[in-house]
A and B are shown apart, each in its own frame.
Chain A
């Protein structure tokens, strides 16, 4: 057991000087580490990160440690921003196949676009703790579609060990416009597109009757950005839900669903669209001509490399799987692990997410996936990315794609102090955090798995059964 004890000791050593609880009025300096900022730049050897009141003050080389700062020695270790999962369902699931614990979709709900994942997030889900132990500090959490092309509204969460997980509720609406969308729409992509347009029309009509909608097909000029950037909470849709508000009889959406799409139409809420096939991607990009205020983010885009120039020209960010290379469906025939780097070299803003079956538990694999993109640099004919760029794709990249780049995802001044100290190159197989900080607060790294590990490190039983050993 001595090795575990020594790990515990080193964790304690790292924790020295870091008070438990909120880090307000506290200055922390992490010194001597290999510091990677998460902005695409390469790591800085012997760098310093200075944190005050839960925010990054500065990070870089040759920084003076402020007087009175509590110092954390990171010599021989790597320091990065916390990993941001660009697409996930973490916090919505305890055990995927146990329905009672799986809140990703609602096949029997009358609602679709109105669904908001925020109240379903459980910060104590085992997947949250395991992901945190793997260095993930924030995640984009999307609902899953069930009976409509609209899945509902996703959130940005933190993975802290507290009961306040929501960084930004209703950060985006999520819609399926590929094979899955066709299925939800009754059987064809054509139907999915009609349903999409109809839904936005119903939202527009609803907005018009109450005079708050400025969006819709008529507007040619992009709206001024003032209202678009308002936090959603400050633009109440209450009037649209008022008892007296009239709607046509000729509607498909519930009032709640139609109301939920008003901010999408107006460009106040991002629209994340899942599309993999090249032609589907182009159809998504074309929506902007019809609905100029849409703030689109493409999710998936496995065939994106074949139309990368068009995606760049549309200035639509992409959140992609890193390593799809199988024609696992007819919408992914052109799949290659070079997709991400090829889109990137074409100028597309690409980040990584987990758009697969691992999104509820295994977002900690983001680092491994990013590392594999670096590996491709050495494969003849393949396209890979530089190390710093790979880290960007799992830190500031997704934060920026979701409009939170000024808040989190990098070690630049002013960002939330989500900081991870790793025992090695964070993208390398088997590297692990020795310290995780969220908003400047040091996080516990124990979880169900680490407890099982410690119990069974020696499999033989003592005088009493294993149940007495902990």
Chain B
């Protein structure tokens, strides 16, 4: 297993904080003028609470399958039991199956945890990709931590359904784009269709903050003769912003402890305060090795932690540094060369980072790629083996399961097939690292949300109704 010791502590803190916010937030919004000794009124940490509900499921037992548990374990001829929305049992052929369970013969098939994509823009850049749908970048200023990706999510994006049916993706983090140094908050969704974003929102998942270094921010703003126009300005603007956030945090910490006059609210600073408190996880778009090193130093200077470097095309050059600092890398298998900072992409990035003992994740950043994350992992695995890095298949599945779950702070709830966890499960019609394999069935919280053999278990978005190909196998 890869070590995530450095990462786990803040994540647990974040989870604890989030778990309390939805119903019993630290103080009511309406400043109840109670006795002077009561805690001062403060702001809600969860003003757009999840309304996700577990869809109905039946007690289900899959038998005879090869199981990758998502934490590196493998069971041949395995049995898994799903009940009441959670994984009831996982084991060998002797695993007890409750009476009345729906039995599925998994012979010749594979069972894995549902894939988690930590880098998606579905809903924010939905299909059709028309100008009216470009909602992922607030390109009006390089520092925009006040915007929340969830407020751009269009639940009717057909891309969600493709990620489910072709990709076996059961949870995903929607991030703002990378035009800005501070892009805004991310939101983690369960990949179920909903009428509202809140119906998809992963209950209890912490927020993330999207940051970006490198070419994009300096290109967007430099092109307007505005700061940042260079990499050095990228860092300067980020540091100045963190310094402001520290000051904001001091003021609010003091107020929430001692009372007095409520400080002015600044939504941008709220987000950064959440990061400094360890409640919000930093997801930093960064390609080049040298820039990742700069970001790490900056995070230490201001007392926060980077959860994950995204794209990190040169992570393999500083894999030791990433391991030392307990930072995950969310990577493509073989993307390269589309811009200067992606020029040094190699096929072995994922296995090299994994081999150094650092947390490794396969991510998509793409509505097509998200449908084939298992294949991307398979390619990376194969290229590693060609240079002597022998990673077992079941260990490579951590790149798609427990590692991304840790990176977005939901590893205690999903990301592996452990009893008591959410029953987010994919039954594959063959070895899931083969190009010839597709999901046969997908469960989310134990509810069958996709069955390749049953057209009525195939979601069709509002957008697609009445259009050519409605309800087709996509």
Chain A residues with a Cβ under 8 A of chain B: 2-4, 6-7, 94-98, 126-127, 130, 278, 303, 306, 323, 325-330, 332-338, 357, 360-362, 365, 368, 371-372, 374-376, 378-382, 423, 427-432, 448-450, 452-453, 456-457, 459-460, 466
**Which residues on the B side are within 8 Å of A379 (C-beta)?**
429, 438, 452, 473
Interchain CB contact under 8 A, B387 and A3: yes
Interchain CB contact under 8 A, B129 and A328: yes
Q: Which of A98, A330, A430, A456 contacts B383 (CB 8 A)?
A: A430
CB distance from B392 to the nearest CB of A (A): 15
Provided the pairs A336-B472, A371-B435 are in contact, do residues A453 and B429 lie with their beta carbons within 8 angstroms?
no
Interchain CB contact under 8 A, A375 and B317: no
Query: Total interface residues on B, using CB and 8 Å?
Result: 64
**Which residues on the A side are within 8 Å of B128 (C-beta)?**
327-330, 332-333
Which B107-136 residues have C-beta < 8 A from chain A? Answer: 127-130
**Which residues on the A side are within 8 Å of B130 (C-beta)?**
329-330
Which B336-351 residues have C-beta < 8 A from chain A? Answer: 336-340, 343-348
| Closest chain B residue, CB of each to CB of A367 | B435
Q: State whether the Cβ of B232 lies closer than 8 Å to any Cβ in chain A.
A: no
Interchain CB contact under 8 A, A327 and B158: yes
Interchain CB contact under 8 A, A325 and B339: no
Interchain CB contact under 8 A, B379 and A429: yes
**Which residues on the B side are within 8 Å of A430 (C-beta)?**
378-383, 385
| Closest chain B residue, CB of each to CB of A333 | B467
Q: Which of B320, B388, B453 contacts A459 (CB 8 A)?
A: B320
CB distance from B288 to the nearest CB of A (A): 13
| Closest chain B residue, CB of each to CB of A429 | B378
| Closest chain B residue, CB of each to CB of A383 | B473
Interchain CB contact under 8 A, B129 and A374: no
CB distance from B383 to the nearest CB of A (A): 6
Q: Which of A7, A375, A456 contacts B436 (CB 8 A)?
A: A375
**Which residues on the B side are within 8 Å of A448 (C-beta)?**
343-344
Interchain CB contact under 8 A, B467 and A334: yes
**Which 5 residue pairs across A and B have the least CB separation, nearest first?**
A430-B382, A3-B388, A371-B435, A97-B339, A429-B378
Complex CA gap A326/B339 in Å reads 25
12 contacts between A and B (CB under 8 A): A3-B387, A3-B388, A3-B389, A97-B339, A130-B337, A334-B468, A360-B337, A371-B435, A375-B437, A379-B429, A381-B472, A429-B378
| Closest chain A residue, CB of each to CB of B454 | A380
**Which residues on the A side are within 8 Å of B386 (C-beta)?**
3, 7, 423, 432
Interchain CB contact under 8 A, B352 and A374: no
Q: State whether the Cβ of B182 lies closer than 8 Å to any Cβ in chain A.
A: no
Interchain CB contact under 8 A, A2 and B436: no
Complex CA gap A371/B468 in Å reads 26
**Which residues on the A side are within 8 Å of B387 (C-beta)?**
3-4, 7, 453, 457
Interchain CB contact under 8 A, A452 and B344: yes
**Which residues on the A side are within 8 Å of B235 (C-beta)?**
none
Provided the pairs A333-B468, A374-B436, A449-B345 are in contact, do residues A459 and B316 lie with their beta carbons within 8 angstroms?
yes
For the residues of A in contact with B, the DSSP-based class is: loop
Provided the pairs A371-B435, A449-B347 are in contact, do residues A327 and B127 lie with their beta carbons within 8 angstroms?
yes
Provided the pairs A98-B340, A333-B468, A449-B336 are in contact, do residues A375 and B438 lie with their beta carbons within 8 angstroms?
yes
**Which residues on the A side are within 8 Å of B389 (C-beta)?**
3
CB distance from A370 to the nearest CB of B (A): 9
**Which residues on the B side are within 8 Å of A4 (C-beta)?**
387-388
Which B428-474 residues have C-beta < 8 A from chain A? Answer: 429-430, 433-438, 452-453, 455, 463-464, 467-469, 472-474
Q: Which of A130, A380, A423 contacts B452 (CB 8 A)?
A: A380
Interchain CB contact under 8 A, B468 and A368: no
Which B149-171 residues have C-beta < 8 A from chain A? Answer: 158-159, 162, 166
Interchain CB contact under 8 A, A382 and B382: no
**Which residues on the A side are within 8 Å of B434 (C-beta)?**
428-429
| Closest chain B residue, CB of each to CB of A332 | B128
Complex CA gap A362/B342 in Å reads 13
**Which residues on the A side are within 8 Å of B127 (C-beta)?**
326-328
Interchain CB contact under 8 A, A459 and B368: no
Interchain CB contact under 8 A, B129 and A429: no
| Closest chain B residue, CB of each to CB of A2 | B388
Q: State whether the Cβ of B367 lies closer than 8 Å to any Cβ in chain A.
A: yes
CB distance from B285 to the nearest CB of A (A): 15
Complex CA gap A327/B383 in Å reads 33
Interchain CB contact under 8 A, B352 and A278: no
CB distance from B469 to the nearest CB of A (A): 4
**Which residues on the B side are within 8 Å of A361 (C-beta)?**
336-338
Contacts A326-B367, A357-B338, A429-B382 aside, 16 further interface pairs with beta carbons under 8 A come to: A3-B388, A96-B337, A97-B339, A326-B127, A328-B127, A328-B367, A334-B472, A361-B337, A371-B435, A374-B435, A374-B436, A376-B438, A382-B473, A430-B381, A432-B382, A459-B317
CB distance from A170 to the nearest CB of B (A): 27
**Which residues on the B side are within 8 Å of A466 (C-beta)?**
317
**Which residues on the B side are within 8 Å of A332 (C-beta)?**
128
Interchain CB contact under 8 A, A459 and B319: yes
Complex CA gap A326/B368 in Å reads 8
Complex CA gap A224/B158 in Å reads 49
CB distance from B257 to the nearest CB of A (A): 45
Which B367-403 residues have C-beta < 8 A from chain A? Answer: 367-368, 371-372, 375, 378-383, 385-389
